[in-house]
Structure 1
């Protein structure tokens, strides 16, 4: 499932190599580092891909202070769904993507941040 609405774009990929390739494709189409996010169920894997692809991390500016603090106490699945919804996706979309992340896939999201 790919989401290509005007608010945000998301694509599920099988591995980190494909995720980096997708990030590079999106960069060549005009997205910047600040517009691109990589999410994986495994935090270490996510960190390695984020570093290798030089993308933004979902953080305080996307989640808000209370969301970021709450994520410290949420399960990884709950935190991932919250991160995905904080980037403009519905709860149903977030649940779908998180379930796919459970199978080892990687999610690349492109969202133009307001200027």
Structure 2
């Protein structure tokens, strides 16, 4: 079953959505954040070299990717080629994606 996808232009909206979902009992193992911009992702989710931000404790994984690597990742979540392309366009437009399983 494909995860539900929510797109966010603003980091605060993403943080609020994840906090709400986890407070409603959604497991961190069912939440994934995908973005194109490494610096923005590090700011929102934390990185391995810095203190993790709150969100890193609330999501299973974060992914940065572009091109075929990203499309392959999206297909691994069950999205077909057209859907993967549509999601990649959202990322190209600066959005962050939250996948909810």
- Asked if these proteins are the same fold (TM beyond 0.5), I'd say yes
TM-score range with shorter-chain normalisation?
0.7 to 0.9
Residue in 2 aligned with 1:3? none
SS of equivalent residue, structure 2 residue 16: helix
1:46-89 CA-partner distances (Å, limit 9, x unpaired): 23322331212257xxxxxxxxxxxxxxx723222222221222
TM-score by length of 1: 0.67
Matched residue pairs, number? Answer: 91
Match of 2:78 among 61, 78, 88: 88
Which structure's residues are more often strand, by fraction? 2
> Which ranges of structure 1 fall in alignment gaps of 5 or more residues?
1-5, 60-74
TM-score by length of 2: 0.75
Match of 2:61 among 51, 54, 57: 57
**Mapped pair 1:98 → 2:88:** yes
> Which ranges of structure 2 fall in alignment gaps of 5 or more residues?
47-52
* Pairwise CA RMSD: 2.0
Match of 2:13 among 13, 18, 23: 18
